[in-house]
């Protein structure tokens, strides 16, 4: 007897093995099999009887073992993986790897007996700036480290400080000797959620919420609902009440959130409502814990899986509902093969298991919106905030110089000719925003400030020739960091000392321009010395749960101003936040990407939505140089419909999703010429293929260098495939990927990204 087996290899084929008599368990599709491969062994998935015609002249090798009494991959998940393999054009074995925990595939790391790490914690708080100056007068390094620790929420792993942030251990010793900082060994919490209490009993749903719940609960299996509810409309309670009904019917559910560490409140609410029934899946779980959760869900001991993207593969028994919260978030798209979108996988899986899907957002993706408009999804709307709260008033502060203004003082622009570090409060925070912040601090209310950029300065530029310091490996600007003072590439993490002379013309000193979170934090601390400021950006990820800790501090009222990048805009619900400021709305609006405006609108709307969620109301101030851009205008009016009305037509010509289906083919390699040549060759190859087919079901655009031409020493070119009908795109893309020969030199690679979320 022969068996067809899927293996996680980059080959578009399955493998045929012989089935020996002595196997421990009968083979059922979805069962794991251990098979010989080259000189070693590999874990594959049994798909069904093998085809003798697939064999060459050699006798097939025999399966070594079949460990599963029950198939590890359920029939529904097997169907989902087949869809992923087909739609995203990846080998089935690669898609199947997503469906299994590492412990079941032999890919697990050995478990250390007990994990500990050394952690530095701030012991003494220094309230005033004056105090700081006295204490650190002659020890600027100590001050920098101390303030870095503060910005990490008061604690960070020592490794992170000394290795990644490059502080000398003696600086830390100095702080310890002065009693300012304490260093201890800490057992790494296996599961940070194990020690968190779930939030209290949820409120009673309003009539609007109840109507939404009833509509969804009555949905047919496989039906998809788009829950468009303004920020603070109580979407989470809709999910919770729906899940109550799903559990009452003896079924289970999956809840997807953009990122666990950034959405602790949402997670706590589900745990508060459903306690032990919930398995929280997150990146800090060990392979063993992940497997335990997998097993508990599989056996029905836990009925709800809450997690980020990959939780869509959780083996929830008898799945009744899938919730995709903040469905517009681009983190639902996996950045590496298989490049699936969890929202799309959710819909396919729900269909396979007869579950309903809820896509929730205040700012739905244009794709989902279009699907709702065409009747593919059912649209449910929560147009008002709960409990009589109102959406906050939003005011625009025009940063352009020379624009006459009536009531407000025009803030000065950061002047490119100012010396490094000389940026003034006025150059960053308009008077209006300063006054509003001061007012909130005085009243004991909280503020959120968004700066969608990180580092001390965005880049350094020659004052003479205008050349920007770029990464030697990647073609993007280096970010200037102050603590420690260095230039960092955020793609490959290349670092170098700050340049004092221009690398191109050798001319006068380089001046920094632009703004980063660290710089704004400093300016805030100087302007509001009494305020308790917390900064959240990607640089503060040193300790894994630092973000969660910072958000908890905000919830406890221990932070007056929360400053951060887009990560502070994800569903946070703090009723005492009455002011939201956007320091520079324009960041990202001009990125060479067809979704730039959409992303900007979503970000502004979402961050604005953090204000005024409690009885005290709230206000939003947006600083911008493009006040007339539709992303800004529509966000100011909380007008999603108007944004869609203006944005959709711009996706028609040139056509971009949702007007067409898109695949981005990226050709990369370590040699510039070889990469460009291969891109040309591949595009010509596809063009010939398209010419042979009648009509223009699929169109090719490009090739061209990618907007980011080089990442991690690899040159990058791309071309786009566009089609009205997804099946045509699949056909052409598959034919190309299966047959186009990529030379084995210069690290040349071809990758296809279907439904890309960004083209950078």
Which residues belong to the annotated binding site for Zn(2+)?
462, 465, 471, 474, 489, 492, 502, 505
Structure tokens given for 217:
């609960």
Structure tokens given for 395:
């005011």
Please provide the size of the chain in residues: 760
Contact window for Zn ion (CB under 5 A) among 103-111, 263-271, 463-471, 717-725: 463-471
Structure tokens given for 411:
């803030």
Q: With contact defined as beta carbons under 8 Å apart, do 188 and 115 qualify?
A: yes
* 72 touching ligand ATP, by CB under 6 A: no
What does the H/E/C string look like for 452-498? CCCCCECEEEECCCCCECECCCCCCECEEECCCCEEECCCCCCEECC
Q: Nearest distance from residue 600's CB to ligand ATP, in Å?
A: 17
Query: Judged by CB under 6 A, which of 47, 94, 104, 237 binds ligand ATP?
Result: 237
Structure tokens given for 750:
């071809």
Query: Judged by CB under 6 A, which of 72, 105, 231, 623 binds ligand ATP?
Result: 231
Identify which of 387, 359, 349, 425 has the alpha carbon closest to the alpha carbon of residue 233: 387
237 binds, among Zn ion, ligand ATP, none (CB under 5 to 8 A by kind): ligand ATP
Subset of residues 349 to 388 that bind ligand ATP, contact rule: CB under 6 A: 362, 386-387
Segment (H or E) for 4? strand 2-6
SS3 350: helix
Q: With contact defined as beta carbons under 8 Å apart, do 409 and 430 qualify?
A: yes
* 229 touching ligand ATP, by CB under 6 A: yes
* 308 touching Zn ion, by CB under 5 A: no
Query: Judged by CB under 5 A, which of 82, 494, 625, 734 binds Zn ion?
Result: 494
Cβ-in-10-Å burial (0-12, 13-18, 19+) of 399 comes to buried
**Which lies closer to ligand ATP via its Cβ, residue 232 or residue 455?**
232
132 binds, among Zn ion, ligand ATP, none (CB under 5 to 8 A by kind): none
Distance in angstroms (rounded) separating the CA atoms of residues 356 and 238: 14
Dihedral sign (CA 469, 564, 231, 394): negative
Subset of residues 201 to 220 that bind ligand ATP, contact rule: CB under 6 A: 203-206, 209
**Which lies closer to Zn ion via its Cβ, residue 494 or residue 553?**
494
Structure tokens given for 143:
């001050």
SS3 59: coil
**Which lies closer to ligand ATP via its Cβ, residue 322 or residue 425?**
322
236 binds, among Zn ion, ligand ATP, none (CB under 5 to 8 A by kind): ligand ATP
What does the H/E/C string look like for 533-591? EEEECHHHHCCCCHHHHHHHHHHCCCCCEEEECHHHHCCCCCCCEEEEEECCCCCCCCC
Contact window for ligand ATP (CB under 6 A) among 235-243, 271-279, 549-557, 725-733: 235-243
473 binds, among ligand ATP, Zn ion, none (CB under 5 to 8 A by kind): Zn ion
Q: With contact defined as beta carbons under 8 Å apart, do 657 and 367 qualify?
A: yes
Query: Judged by CB under 6 A, which of 74, 236, 605, 623 binds ligand ATP?
Result: 236
Segment (H or E) for 357? strand 356-361
Size of the residue set binding Zn ion (CB under 5 A):
7
x-or-dash string of contact with ligand ATP, 592-621, rule CB under 6 A? -----------------x---x--------
Q: With contact defined as beta carbons under 8 Å apart, do 158 and 173 qualify?
A: no
**Which lies closer to ligand ATP via its Cβ, residue 81 or residue 322?**
322
Q: With contact defined as beta carbons under 8 Å apart, do 132 and 143 qualify?
A: yes
Size of the residue set binding ligand ATP (CB under 6 A):
20
Structure tokens given for 723:
């089609």
Query: Judged by CB under 5 A, which of 474, 572, 620, 636 binds Zn ion?
Result: 474
240 binds, among Zn ion, ligand ATP, none (CB under 5 to 8 A by kind): none
Q: Nearest distance from residue 233's CB to ligand ATP, in Å?
A: 4
Subset of residues 560 to 589 that bind ligand ATP, contact rule: CB under 6 A: 571, 573
* 101 touching ligand ATP, by CB under 6 A: no
Q: With contact defined as beta carbons under 8 Å apart, do 451 and 517 qualify?
A: yes
Q: Nearest distance from residue 471's CB to Zn ion, in Å?
A: 3
Contact window for ligand ATP (CB under 6 A) among 135-143, 233-241, 413-421, 749-757: 233-241
**Which lies closer to Zn ion via its Cβ, residue 629 or residue 714?**
714
**Which lies closer to Zn ion via its Cβ, residue 463 or residue 473?**
473
Q: Nearest distance from residue 206's CB to ligand ATP, in Å?
A: 4
Residue number of the CB atom closest to Zn ion: 489
Identify which of 432, 537, 421 has the alpha carbon closest to the alpha carbon of residue 490: 537
471 binds, among ligand ATP, Zn ion, none (CB under 5 to 8 A by kind): Zn ion
Contact window for Zn ion (CB under 5 A) among 105-113, 305-313, 486-494, 649-657: 486-494
275 binds, among ligand ATP, Zn ion, none (CB under 5 to 8 A by kind): none
**Which lies closer to Zn ion via its Cβ, residue 473 or residue 486?**
473
Report H helices in 622-758: 630-636, 640-650, 672-692, 726-739
Structure tokens given for 258:
């953009």
Contact window for Zn ion (CB under 5 A) among 41-49, 58-66, 240-248, 472-480: 472-480
Tell me the pairing of strands 2-6 and 40-49.
antiparallel
Residues in contact with ligand ATP by CB under 6 A are 203-206, 209, 229, 231-237, 362, 386-387, 571, 573, 609, 613
Applying CB under 5 A, which residues contact Zn ion? 471, 473-474, 489, 491-492, 494
């Amino acid at each position: 007897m022969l068996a067809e087996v899927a293996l996680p290899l980059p080959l578009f084929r399955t493998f045929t093995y012989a089935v020996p008599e002595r196997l421990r368990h009968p083979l059922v599709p979805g069962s794991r099999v251990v098979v010989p491969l080259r000189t070693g062994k590999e874990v594959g998935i049994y798909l069904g009887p093998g085809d003798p015609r697939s064999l060459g002249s050699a006798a097939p090798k025999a399966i070594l073992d079949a460990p599963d009494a029950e198939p590890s991959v359920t029939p529904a998940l097997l169907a989902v993986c087949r869809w992923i393999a087909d739609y995203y054009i990846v080998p089935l074995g690669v898609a199947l790897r997503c469906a299994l925990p590492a412990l079941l595939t032999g890919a697990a790391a050995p478990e250390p007996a007990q994990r500990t790490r050394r952690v530095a914690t701030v012991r003494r708080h220094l309230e005033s700036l004056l105090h700081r100056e006295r204490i650190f007068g002659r020890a600027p390094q100590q001050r920098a480290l101390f303030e870095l620790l503060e910005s990490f929420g008061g604690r960070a792993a020592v490794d992170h400080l000394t290795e990644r942030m490059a502080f000398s251990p003696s600086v830390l010793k100095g702080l310890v000797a002065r009693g300012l900082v304490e260093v201890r060994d800490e057992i790494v919490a296996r599961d940070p959620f194990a020690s968190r209490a779930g939030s209290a009993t949820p409120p009673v749903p309003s009539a609007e919420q109840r109507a939404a719940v009833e509509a969804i609960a009555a949905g047919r299996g496989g039906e998809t609902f788009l829950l468009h509810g303004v920020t603070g409309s109580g979407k989470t309670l809709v999910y919770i009440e729906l899940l109550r009904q799903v559990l009452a019917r003896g079924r289970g559910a999956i809840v997807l959130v953009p990122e666990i560490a950034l959405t602790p409140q949402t997670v706590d609410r589900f745990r508060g409502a459903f306690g032990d029934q919930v398995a929280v899946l997150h990146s800090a779980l060990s392979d063993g814990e992940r497997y335990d959760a997998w097993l508990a869900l599989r056996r029905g001991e836990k009925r709800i899986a809450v997690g980020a993207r990959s939780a869509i593969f959780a083996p929830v028994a008898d799945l009744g509902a899938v919730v995709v919260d903040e469905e517009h978030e681009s983190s639902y798209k996996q950045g590496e093969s298989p490049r699936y979108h969890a929202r799309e996988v959710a819909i396919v899986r729900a269909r396979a298991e007869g579950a309903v899907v809820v896509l929730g957002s205040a700012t739905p993706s244009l794709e989902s919106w279009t699907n709702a408009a065409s009747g593919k999804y059912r649209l449910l709307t929560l147009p008002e905030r709960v409990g009589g709260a109102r959406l906050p008033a939003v005011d625009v502060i025009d940063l352009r110089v020379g624009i006459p203004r009536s009531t407000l003082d025009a803030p000065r622009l950061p002047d490119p000719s100012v010396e490094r570090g000389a940026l003034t409060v006025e150059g960053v925070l308009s008077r209006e925003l300063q006054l509003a912040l001061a007012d909130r601090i005085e009243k004991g209310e909280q503020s959120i400030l968004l700066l969608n950029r990180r580092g001390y300065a965005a880049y350094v530029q020659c004052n003479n020739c205008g050349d920007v310091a770029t990464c030697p490996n990647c073609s993007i600007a280096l970010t200037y960091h102050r603590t420690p003072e260095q230039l960092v590439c955020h793609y490959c993490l290349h670092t170098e000392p700050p340049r004092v002379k221009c690398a191109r013309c050798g001319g006068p000193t380089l001046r920094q321009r632009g703004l980063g979170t660290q710089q704004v934090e400093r300016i805030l601390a100087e302007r509001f010395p009494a305020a308790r400021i917390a900064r959240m950006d990607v640089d503060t990820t040193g300790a894994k749960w630092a973000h969660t800790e910072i958000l908890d501090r905000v919830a406890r009222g221990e932070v007056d101003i929360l400053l951060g990048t887009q990560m502070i805009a994800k569903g946070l619900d703090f009723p005492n936040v009455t002011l939201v400021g956007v320091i520079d709305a324009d960041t990202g609006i001009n990125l060479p990407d067809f979704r730039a405006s959409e992303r900007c609108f979503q970000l502004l709307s979402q961050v604005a939505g953090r204000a005024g969620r409690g009885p005290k109301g709230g206000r939003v101030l947006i600083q911008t140089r493009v006040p007339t851009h539709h992303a800004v205008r529509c966000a100011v009016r909380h007008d999603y419909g108007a944004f869609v009305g203006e944005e959709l037509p711009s996706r028609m010509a040139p056509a971009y999703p949702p007007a067409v289906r898109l695949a981005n083919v990226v050709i990369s390699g370590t040699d510039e010429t070889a990469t460009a040549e291969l891109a040309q060759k591949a595009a010509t190859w596809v063009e010939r293929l398209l010419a042979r087919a009648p009509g223009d079901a699929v169109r090719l655009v490009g090739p061209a260098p990618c907007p980011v031409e080089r990442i991690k020493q690899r040159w990058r070119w791309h071309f786009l495939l566009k089609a009205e009908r997804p099946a045509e795109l699949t056909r052409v893309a598959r034919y190309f990927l299966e047959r186009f020969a990529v030379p084995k030199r210069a690290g040349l690679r071809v990758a296809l990204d279907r439904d890309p979320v960004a083209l950078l």
